[in-house]
Structures are given as C-alpha cells and as structure tokens.
Amino acid sequence: MSFKGKHHSPETREKISAALKGRSHSPQHRAKVSASLARPEVRAKIGAALRAAMSLPEYQEKQRAIHLGKHHSPETREKLRQARLGKVHSPETREKLRAATRAAMSRPEYREKLRQARLGKHHTPEVREKIRQANLGKHHTPETLERMSGERNHSWRGGISFEPYCLKFSDDFRERVRGFWEYRCGLCGKTQAENGQALSVHHVSYQKRACCDDEVPRYFIPLCASCHGKTGKDRGHWQKILSRKIDKKFNGRCYFRQGEVLSSWGVKA
C-alpha cells in the first residue's frame, strides 16, 4: 500500500498534537537522531527535498500565509539573540551564501520581487535607532575595505568620483533645486523634515561637470538618503526613470536663473 500524497485529516493531526504535547524524546533517541543528521548523505537528501518543496509557488504562498503578521515574542527574540552571540559562519559557508546571493540578485525577476516587497516600506524611528546603536563603533576590517576599494568596488566608474564639481553647483544652486521640488524627495515624496537632513541634489547624468558643460543635460533632482542610495547601482536604469520624471513634471526645466543658461542648450530658464 502506498501512502504517497496522502495527508492526515485536521482531526487526526489535532489528536496527534494533543497526544505529543508535553512529551519529549529520550536522550538516547535524540543522540540517535543527532548521529543520523551528522551523516553528509542524510543532510544532502534533506536539503534536496527542502529545496524542491521551497521552489513550488503553492508551498511559498502557504508559508507566507502562515507567517503573515506573526512575530517572535520578546522572550523568544532574546533567546535567539543569546544563542547566536559569538557565532560566525565558517569561510566555506560565507562563500556559499555569497554565491547564492549573487546568483539570485542576477535574476531580474528576483530583483523586481524584492523591489515590490519593499515599496513604500520604511523602518520605524525605533528600528532606525536600534540599527544606529548596533552599528556604533563598528567598522569594516582592513581586508574588507581593501576588497571594496578602487576597481573592485561595484560603483567604480574609472575614478570620476575624484573629479571636482562644477563651480556653479553651489549651495545656492542646490537650495533652488530643493525649493523647486517643494523640499520633497523627487522619487518617494518624503519631506526634508522626514529625511532628517537636507535632501541630496542628485546629478541625473552622473556627471559632475553637468552645470558647466552645455553638452550634458542639466537635470537635477532632490532625493532623500534612502532613494539617493538606490541610484548608485544600475545607473542607466535610474537615469531613464529620473529624466522621464523631470520631463513629465516640469517639461525638462532646469534650475539656472535667466542669463545663466547657454542659448545653445535651448531650454526654459
């Protein structure tokens, strides 16, 4: 007789749950299970089964529905924190995690899924303060900084970050850009007060000489810290989005006063 694909009824599952409540395995049984799980072939078999299950959309939806709105109690969170204290992944595990993350992030559908999941979500002030406190005094190791520097950094653009800004990109100019957008982030609409600091004025062309070079479209947009951080990667993508946003909202208008715009550029002042 085959039991494949068969499941206990809700009533049977409830009976089993009630019967097992309060019971625990004997030390001998736990040792036997532990020894079995230590075998590489057993772990590989379990891992393959889990990966196969987690790849099914219906399984993912079921898990999502189960965990929706659920949170660990403060006591459980403290237990988990204590259990993880001082523990670090081995170099092999870290490399596996890095490889898996890189593979996932290379898929456009995965990146879009993450973007949709995070859209409009922000940390509460309490969470932001916790993150700030947790990061106080923490710094990258010299080895990590070395790996992230120069041409090895994902944001490397041939050293253009060392080029000076155009002199016209002044404090007065940046303030006019912010005022033009009513002191709101051009992407998410967050106010300057909500940002907690002056909005960054972003060069949509990613060229520091944009104010002085009449060959470069002088598009600028104020961004909150969160949105400005996003624009460091996939620059072509963000350039298109922000340019369209400015064209739609202000018909491509720039921020120079009358007389500051070169006539050859042909835009409204």
Question: pLDDT of 213-241, one tens digit each?
Answer: 766 667 889 999 989 988 888 888 898 89
What is the rounded average pLDDT of the residues 116-139? 80
The top-scoring range by mean pLDDT among 194-203, 244-253, 257-266 is 194-203
Domain ranges, ordered by start, for the chain: 160-265
pLDDT score at 183 = 93
User: Across the chain, what does the average pLDDT equal?
Assistant: 81
Q: Within 85-120, where are the H helices?
A: 91-105, 108-118
Kindly tell me if the per-residue pLDDT of 28 is higher than 60: yes
Q: Give the pTM.
A: 0.41
Match 């020894």 to its residue by tokens: 35
Q: What is the pLDDT of residues 54-107, one digit of tens each?
A: 888 898 888 888 888 888 888 998 998 888 888 888 889 989 998 989 888 888
Contact status, residue 202 vs residue 231, Cβ threshold 8 Å:
yes
pLDDT score at 199 = 93
Match 């036997």 to its residue by tokens: 32
What is the rounded average pLDDT of the residues 232-258? 77
Q: What is the rounded distance in angstroms from the CA atom of residue 62 to the CA atom of residue 68? A: 10
What is the rounded average pLDDT of the residues 159-171? 69
pLDDT score at 207 = 80
Q: Within 86-206, where are the H helices?
A: 91-105, 108-118, 125-135, 142-148, 171-180, 192-195
